[in-house]
Structure 1
Amino acid sequence: MPDATRYVPPDGDLDDLREAARGCHGCDLYRHATQTVFGEGPADAQVVLVGEQPGDQEDREGHPFVGPAGRLLDRALAEAGIDRDAVYVTNAVKHFKFVERGKRRIHAQPGRTEIVACAPWFEAEMRIVRPRLVVCLGSIAAKAILGQSFRVTAQRGKLISTEEYEVIATVHPSAVLRAPDRTEAYSAFVEDLRAARSMFPTGLPGTGG
């Protein structure tokens, strides 16, 4: 199965990765997306937040989590005592997948082929950042890291150990925005982030920690 491996620099820093990712043709999503939306944050971040893929606004601006879901995430992080400037924020898939409806571009869930194709970028990010904790925002991110059998509904908020880092999975902030009871969903989301924050009782090291 084709993937992004041939586009990923064997060494270098996050800036090198980000620049190389601009030319990634590891799957077909680049054909319609405006640009690659790479991860952002300090290279020594102890916490990585990983979502599914960029949305419409992220695709246009070139930065992760800057749309409505990103604004909700910022508010929830602040309430949970996590400084966004101290964490590294990225997505499992770096290009926006969508369907056009008139003038609107509607989010379409990336398929397994696209997730696997983009995995070398996330793996390269993690080799450089080397976080203590990865927070998966939504099932796509969780399955990309923990395998297809993982279920956020069953294992949400539980600490899971891997060889490289600890993992906690929660819902994607866009799911909070779509929830019938947004207040309840938001409160539960903040509690999951507080559980992540509890791993660092003396504060998050790094920028703003």
Structure 2
Amino acid sequence: MHPAPGHRLVDRVEEALIAFILGAMALITFANVVARYVFNSNILWALETTVFLFGWMVLLGASYCVKKSAHLGVDVVVEMVSLSARRLLALVAVAVCIAYSFLLLKGAWDYWANFANLPQTLGRWFPLGFEENFRPKAWYEVNDIPNPAMLNFLETLMNDGDPYEKLPRFIPYAVLPLSMALLLYRFVQAAILIWKGRLDRLVASHEVEDELAEVRAQRGEEV
């Protein structure tokens, strides 16, 4: 899926964030191994941090794979029909994906919102407004990750001036609405490309077939 110039900023931010998360996970894990086996110590917050980073990577990776058409898919039926039928099937599929990712976005917001002192949405399937009375939960903290000094301003803003000993939970949980919004954005992008005739399916990659063809070529077999 080739992004238009207006979408390149989102692409770059997404790719840079995923790369940063991978690097941070590797660095923290390596530092913890060195601390444990060389200095007989332990970085207490390392495990929880890598778990959160891994969650961020998986959730952001879901939308990234939509952009790259890298999700697993079965296209046996798609290959058997005409181009116009393929486009129709693709439009039906992407419509279902858009509806599903919209529901995921609503659920993600509703789960995260109270942790950020924000109201959840009303309505079971479609947001019908925001709740008026809710219990703010911004005082919830993670288990081990200390709150960095540069985030102390959040104590006045989110916690009535009470100090945070650990990182506020709404910060790592923010990936839920963020990633679902990106997923919805990517499916809308795909729908536009299908409508314009630039794609005829959601899953356009055939990595396994390409790899098998490469292996056969190396062995001198017919591809």
TM-score (norm 2): 0.20
Larger helix proportion of the pair:
2
- Higher Cα Rg, which structure: 2
Larger strand proportion of the pair:
1
